Amino acid sequence: MIREMTIDDYEEVYTLWKKIKGFGLRSIDDSREGVDRFLKRNPTSSVVAEEDGKIVGSILCGHDGRRGCFYHVCVDKDYRRRGIGKNMVVFAMEALRREKINKVSLIAFTKNDVGNAFWNTIGWTQRLDLNYYDFTLNKENITAFNEQ
């Protein structure tokens, strides 16, 4: 079952994120308070997948009024290759369409072979015509990568 994510899902979703090898988690943005702030700003577009009585997938999805963005797209390793990821993507994209958003982007780490293969398989286009830049406003928002 795919449904909207709420803050009540946080502990189970965070536990899932911690299980994903190579997953990068930020100390502030991915805290309960950070996710709560994100969900309040984007109340209908983030999703979770439930199976066997537990959350097995998630997408944080939001928009700025012009473009949607996916963050932390993941499916538990034991539940992959069953359409869960694609179904979550479709659910989130439909939520964005209802809000009149016409384009969605995401960032996948170059070393994330599983994720990059997934996006290519379901028809997303890797952009080679632009550079991605960011600037850290809060140096305490540290990213740690799961080693599992």
Kindly list the averaged pLDDT for each block of 10 residues, start to end, along the chain of length 148: 97 95 87 97 96 96 95 94 95 96 89 83 85 76 65
**Is residue 47 classed as helix, strand or coil in its secondary structure?**
strand
Determine if the pTM surpasses 0.95: no
Q: What is the pLDDT of residue 141?
A: 66
Q: What is the pLDDT of residue 143?
A: 64
Q: What is the pLDDT of residue 47?
A: 98
CA dist., res. 35 & res. 14, Å (int): 10
Burial of 26 (0-12, 13-18, 19+ CB in 10 A): middle
Q: What is the pLDDT of residue 73?
A: 93
Strand order in the sheet with 2-4: 2-4, 47-51, 54-63, 68-75, 104-106
Q: What is the pLDDT of residue 142?
A: 63
Domains of the chain: 2-145 (3.40.630.30)
Strands (E), 5-139: 24-26, 47-51, 54-63, 68-75, 104-106
